[in-house]
């Protein structure tokens, strides 16, 4: 859901990246961003932990960082980060953490 794979998710990534940029200079937006981001990280951590992966918090942070970074880059340069490339990178990362 977090990758920029089509027009809709690319638009969501643009909005999310803009929100993050605005949050840097706005205390209220920063609190909202932190709360939502932490909730997402906690959800991913629970899922990774339920899969029996060691270091669930570290793996979850790696996955969240990968997805958010790939989506942000793809929303700015979709030709360099097309959907199949994003999916392949995610698949390789999941496999590296024994989550495939």
Report residue 7's pLDDT band, with 50, 70 and 90 as the boundaries: very high
At residue 99, the pLDDT reads 93
For the chain, what percent of residues have pLDDT higher than 90? Answer: 94
pLDDT of 21-43, one tens digit each?
Answer: 999 999 999 999 999 999 999 99
User: Cα–Cα distance between 37 and 96 in angstroms, integer?
Assistant: 24
Report CA Rg, the chain: 14
Q: Structure pTM? A: 0.87
Report residue 100's pLDDT band, with 50, 70 and 90 as the boundaries: confident
pLDDT of 84-94, one tens digit each?
Answer: 999 999 999 99
The beta-carbon contacts of 92-95 under 8 Å, at least 24 apart in sequence, are: 93/62, 93/63, 93/66, 94/63
Residues 50-75: what's their mean pLDDT? 95
Residue pair 90/70 in contact (Cβ under 8 Å)? The answer is: yes
* Residue count of the chain: 100
Residue pair 82/76 in contact (Cβ under 8 Å)? The answer is: no
At residue 1, the pLDDT reads 79
Place of tokens 């490339």: 85
């Amino acid at each position: 859901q977090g990758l920029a794979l089509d027009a809709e998710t690319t638009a969501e990534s643009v909005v999310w990246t803009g929100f993050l940029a605005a949050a840097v200079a706005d205390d209220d937006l920063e609190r909202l961003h932190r709360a939502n981001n932490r909730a997402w990280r906690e959800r991913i951590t629970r899922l990774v932990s339920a899969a029996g992966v060691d270091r669930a918090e570290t793996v979850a942070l790696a996955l969240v960082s990968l997805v958010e970074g790939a989506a942000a880059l793809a929303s700015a340069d979709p030709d360099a980060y097309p959907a199949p490339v994003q999916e392949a990178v995610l698949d390789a990362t999941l496999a590296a953490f024994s989550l495939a």
